[in-house]
């Protein structure tokens, strides 16, 4: 098998395995007060294993942002492997802030591609609602530059609000156009039984919702919530042993940027997304025009707009208008966030990237809401300090 461009060549390997998704599973996103982190993680892990028809895996990669702060529990690799009955396997946690799920998926892909593991489970999990008051906001702020941003009291909402204000200034963008991002996500969440908010919202309700950090309103921000999602990976050679509809990982990249927004030359574009997308497209030998659907990291409305631009779908400054025209809706030119995105499906930070991969997989299998041959997912950690871009496609 040929090396996967960007993985095999850089590692010095002569050959790398092509990687396929053969199983998916998740829990509903919400506030399950009667379930612990380990319970929802095991639930999604078993669901993915059942979907793949496997009763054992030889590796487990856990994506999680801050279990030590949210639920006073670390060592998630051991914890989840133990309670899922996976035995003495290789298991560990990886962290990339709100992009932990995407980083975990990339780690699982590398494990299978390298040949070091044969069947790997990637589980993203976060239990955020067990803390009270403003604790969640403080915990999430740990993904910013603690000594130069968070120490002054700035929150992630505040940082994104400043980015949005600069974007509106630089491109003369209308706030109502930017607000079409959450409207689209809520419209799509209606058909997702696992979404936290399964209801449509109007543009006026977004614009007139309480202001959180000017110009960002409440209905432009993803919720605090809990959830777990899992993916089973194996080689393309073995995939047909498990499913008739394997989905191929055509491109996978993770890039980083300065952790502080203030250190960037341009705050209205995320260099980590641009570079990760460039590598993923090159690996897949595809372009933005080949993508049939996209999962944007719409934790805040402005991030969805900038994501459209950084992934190469529209020129910079045109993302808000593209969304407002309805081009990102189901039936539009590029259906985005087809299961509700972070805003309506919910954003359990360590699990979000895995939910995105799961939702792309459904669409590519022919089980989803759009007919897609290829799809792309963007998962952001921090305010663009860590970004994963994944391209999936049908096996042909």
- Catalytic residue positions, numbered: 98, 347
Rounded alpha-carbon distances, angstroms, from residue 217 to 11, 140, 172, 182, 214? 45, 18, 19, 11, 7
Helix (H, G, I), strand (E, B) or coil at 83: helix
Which distant-in-sequence residues (6+ apart) come within 8 Å of 263 by Cβ? none
Cβ pair 349, 72 in contact under 8 A: no
Phi, psi of 249 (to 5 degrees): -80, 100
Q: Which residues, in sequence order, are bridge partners of residue 19?
A: 235
d(CA 191, CA 237): 34
Which distant-in-sequence residues (6+ apart) come within 8 Å of 216 by Cβ? 157, 160, 161, 164, 300, 301, 302
β-pair type (247-256, 293-295): unpaired
- Nearest CA to 228 out of 64, 351, 385 is that of 351
């Amino acid at each position: 098998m040929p090396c996967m461009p960007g993985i095999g060549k850089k590692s010095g390997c002569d050959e790398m395995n092509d990687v396929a998704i053969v199983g998916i599973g998740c829990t509903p996103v919400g506030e399950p007060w009667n379930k612990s982190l380990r319970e929802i993680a095991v639930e999604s892990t078993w669901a993915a294993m059942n979907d793949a028809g496997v009763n054992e895996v030889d590796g487990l990669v856990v994506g999680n942002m801050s279990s030590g702060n949210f639920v006073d529990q670390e060592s998630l690799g051991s914890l989840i492997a133990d309670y899922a009955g996976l035995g003495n396997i290789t298991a560990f946690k990886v962290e990339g802030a709100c992009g932990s799920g995407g980083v975990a998926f990339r780690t699982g892909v590398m494990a299978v591609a390298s040949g070091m593991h044969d069947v790997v489970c990637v589980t993203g999990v976060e239990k955020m609602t067990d803390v009270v008051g403003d604790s969640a906001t403080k915990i999430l702020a740990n993904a910013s530059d603690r000594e130069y941003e968070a120490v002054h009291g700035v929150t992630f909402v505040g940082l994104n609000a400043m980015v949005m204000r600069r974007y509106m200034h630089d491109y003369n963008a209308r706030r109502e156009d930017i607000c079409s991002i959450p409207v689209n996500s809520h419209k799509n969440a209606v058909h997702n039984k696992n979404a936290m908010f399964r209801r449509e919202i109007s543009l006026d309700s977004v614009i007139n919702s309480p202001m959180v950090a000017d110009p960002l309103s409440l209905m432009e921000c993803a919720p605090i919530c809990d959830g777990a999602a899992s993916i089973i990976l194996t080689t393309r050679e073995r995939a047909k042993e498990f499913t008739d509809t394997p989905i191929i990982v055509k491109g996978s990249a993770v890039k980083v940027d300065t952790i502080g927004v203030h250190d960037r030359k341009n705050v209205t574009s995320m260099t980590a997304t641009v570079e990760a997308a460039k590598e993923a497209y090159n690996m897949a030998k595809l372009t933005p025009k080949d993508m049939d659907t996209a999962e944007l990291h719409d934790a805040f409305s402005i991030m969805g707009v900038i994501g459209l631009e950084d992934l190469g779908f529209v020129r910079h400054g045109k993302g808000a208008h593209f969304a407002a025209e309805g081009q990102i809706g189901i039936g539009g030119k590029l259906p985005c966030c087809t299961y509700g995105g972070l805003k309506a499906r919910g954003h359990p930070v360590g699990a979000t990237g895995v939910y995105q991969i799961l939702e792309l997989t459904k669409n590519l299998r022919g089980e989803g809401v759009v007919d897609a041959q290829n799809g792309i997912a963007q998962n952001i950690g921090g305010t663009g300090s860590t970004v994963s871009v994944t391209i999936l496609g049908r096996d042909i």
